[in-house]
């Protein structure tokens, strides 16, 4: 590994045990509602139904995931008249391998 290559490592101490338990449960529930995954140049775009309860789950996911994985870039896109919302998870070169490992079977 050269000195300019980033290392992606989660900070497992960023969340309390209660927060981690809630985050794992929320993430699992959220991934079960996933409609589509699109590979992007620097990450993935995850598409969910445009429903208030799902948007809340996505916001909760982002609020905790950013603490333990501060190297992720998140973009939540909710368009008028669209039936889905898109959560883009992106980052520096090499992030796609980490995302696939982090989210398992949800990301092909």
CATH assignment of the domain containing 76? 3.30.1360
pTM, two decimals, is 0.87
> Are the C-beta atoms of residues 102 and 96 closer than 8 Å to each other?
no
pLDDT attached to residue 5: 54
Residue 79 domain flag? yes
Does 8 map to a domain? no
* Domain annotation covers residue 83: yes
The total number of structural domains that make up the chain: 1
83 within 8 A of 42, measured Cβ to Cβ: no
Q: Is residue 59 included in any domain, yes or no?
A: yes
Q: Which two tokens stand for residue 49?
A: 């139904």
pLDDT band for position 67 (cuts 50, 70, 90): very high
Q: For residue 89, tell me if it sits in a domain.
A: yes
Q: What is the pLDDT of residue 84?
A: 93
Read off the pLDDT of residues 1-35 as tens digits, 9 standing for 90 and up.
444 556 677 888 899 999 999 999 999 999 999 99
Residue 3 counted as domain residue: no
**Neighbour-count burial of 57, counting CB atoms closer than 10 A to its CB (0-12 exposed, 13-18 middle, 19+ buried):** middle
């Amino acid at each position: 590994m050269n000195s300019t290559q980033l290392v992606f490592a989660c900070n497992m101490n960023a969340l309390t045990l209660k927060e981690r338990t809630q985050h794992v449960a929320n993430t699992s529930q959220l991934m079960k509602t996933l409609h589509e995954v699109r590979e992007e140049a620097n990450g993935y775009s995850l598409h969910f139904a445009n429903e208030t309860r799902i948007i809340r789950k996505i916001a909760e996911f982002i609020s905790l995931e950013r603490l333990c994985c501060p190297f992720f870039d998140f973009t939540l896109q909710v368009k008028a008249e669209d039936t889905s919302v898109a959560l883009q998870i992106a980052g520096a070169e090499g992030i796609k391998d980490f995302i696939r490992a982090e989210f398992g079977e949800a990301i092909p």
